[in-house]
Every structure is written in structure tokens, then in C-alpha cells.
Amino acid sequence: MAAITISSADTNAYASSLGEAATSLREGSLVIFPTETVYGVGANAADPAAVQRLRAAKGRLGTQPFSVHLGAKREAANFLSKPTPLVRRLVRKLWPGPVTLICEERSPEETSFGRAVSAEARSAVFHEQTVGLRCPDHPVATRLLLESAVPVVASSANRAGRPAPGTVEEALLELGDAATYAIDAGRTQLSRSSTIIEIRGHHWNVVREGAVDERTIRRLSQSLTLFVCTGNSCRSPLAEYLFRKQLAEALGVSEAEAAEAGYLVESAGVAAFPGAAASDGTVNELAKRGIDARAHQAQPTTPELLQQAERIFAMTADHREAILMRLPSAAGRVTLLDDRPIADPIGGGPEQYAACADQIERAVARRVKEFLDEDRNW
């Protein structure tokens, strides 16, 4: 029986018809729907019979899983028991969008989805301790996935080995006899498959380059934390080196490995002389903590550097104001490192430097914890 086609252009009937398609999807039928890349076909992931229908329609034999399609990025938490900071960062920056993330999940039965379904249903989603997740950037896909109120696995609406469809007509020629509903929203915007990224621990690699290229992913996967003081010779270098060390320890990797994984940490000054060394007091305080800062070179707070930073910590309110004068759009990313202003120890003795370093070290410890806990509620 041919699929019932719903047109998103028919505003009078669209809402109720889409609701019928969502109900049909929830009850085990296959539904063809548009994404920003290609037309897909989805099934209720919690219904093993529906997944088998999808597998048969695609001609996909064996146990290769389908990717889970999400109506909202927060739903990724249902399929991951302990999402890493890198996963959360890529979800935050790349979704909704044409990117599929293959994430590690060593305990599928401990995820919200895994606890709610049978082992057979889990096997359709999790494979070799991984799960593929996708959050399409298309209003029709978003509405269908949310209204279905069930986890949905999907794939391009074509038989194995055939080109992915960019129109509903192409999708119907491929799978029209297998789906109950097909939603027509015209030709897809990109007509190109999603990029697939595999994430292992703190590292990632592109499995299939699609609508988003590797250069863009590399840029978005990085997270720059910037510390700012006046001359970038005392306070902000203390914060930079202490944050980098504590973050690497919390991640269980070396500082070089943390940087390679995209965790970047720098410091700058609102009145810095480029290339100036860190003060002797700062070098000595860091040396007490096993950190060699003799190679530090000061840099100014350029608009380009401020624009690149994902989070900016200022030592005082005056520093924050100076940052915002250079880049007003950074207002939502600039905050004080500590609740109390951090006094400049320049010109002071060892006691002043020790007090400054101790205050910064305590504040940095709190900021590292915040950094690792970010997006924990998705």
C-alpha cells in the first residue's frame, strides 16, 4: 500500500496530518520525513518489530544499528550514562545540524533509554559500546520527532547502496510501499548526507565527511578559556597555568593531551606589552607548584582573541569593563574569576605574591569544576 503523503505547504491540514503521522510512528509504522540533508525514514526505536520493518525496507541485513534522531539536543542525555565534556561541547555547538555523533556508551543498560526497553530494543540502538545520535535542523523533522514522544531510529529513505533522496518523490520511489506516511517539505536544503563524527574519550575523528567539513568541526571542537589582567605578567599567567594544570589532572590526561583534545587555555592583558615575561614573583609561585612559566610571553586582549574565547575570566571589574570596551558582544562570556577582586601583587614581596596565588588557585579550582560540569543538565 502506498504511503499517505502530507504536504507541509498545506497549512490547513498540515498540523492534524502531522499529528496522525506522529501517532503512526509511535504505534510502529515507518514514516518518511525531511531533514536539512536528505529525506529519512524513521521507526519507533523501542518497538523491535518496527525496527525490523525498517531494516527490511532498507535491505540492511545483520545487526548494524541505526542512528537515533532527536527532536531536541537535550534528549541525547537519554542515551548516554556519562557524557564526556567533549560530547557535550559538540552537542552544544553542532546541534541542531547536519552532524551525526557516534558516542561511546559502555553501559547501555544504565542509560534512561536502556532501562526502559528490552535487550532486543537496546541492540537496535547500541552497537559495540557506541550509539549514533543526530539532531536534525529542520522544523518538520523536529516537530515529528517531538510529537511522536518515542525514541526514533532513522536512516536515509533509500534502499542499501542507492543514492539518498533529496525530494519526497525520490523517497517514495525507494520506500513508498514500506512507509505509512511521507511528509513533503520540498527539496532538502543541503541534499547531502550528514557528517559522521566518532568520539572516543577526549578525542574525535571524522568517519564520513558530509555537509560540515573537518576544518569547521576542528574549530568548533576547541574550547578556549582566557584569563585577563592588566599587563599579563602577574595575575592572569598565574590563573592560566594553574587552570591548565588542574584541568588536565581532572581529565586524567597530560597538559599536552588536553590541548590536543581541544582544551585551550591562554591569558592576556588589557595593557600588555607583547612578548614580556612573567614577573619573578609569578614564576616563583608557579615553580612551588611544579609549573615552569619562564617561557611565558605576554599578549594583549585583541578583539580576535576575545572573539575566539568561549569563556573569559577577569581579575577585577575594571578589567571586565576594558574587555567590553574592546568587544561589547563578549558580555555574556566575561565574568570575574573570583567573588572578590584579585589585587595586583606587582611591586610587592613574596607574601603578596603568595596571597595572590592562593586566591587564584582556590578560584581556579571552582572554575575547573564548573567547566567540567557545564551542560550537565543538557
Catalytic residue numbers, as ranges: 229, 235, 344
Nearest to 39 by CA among 151, 167, 125: 167
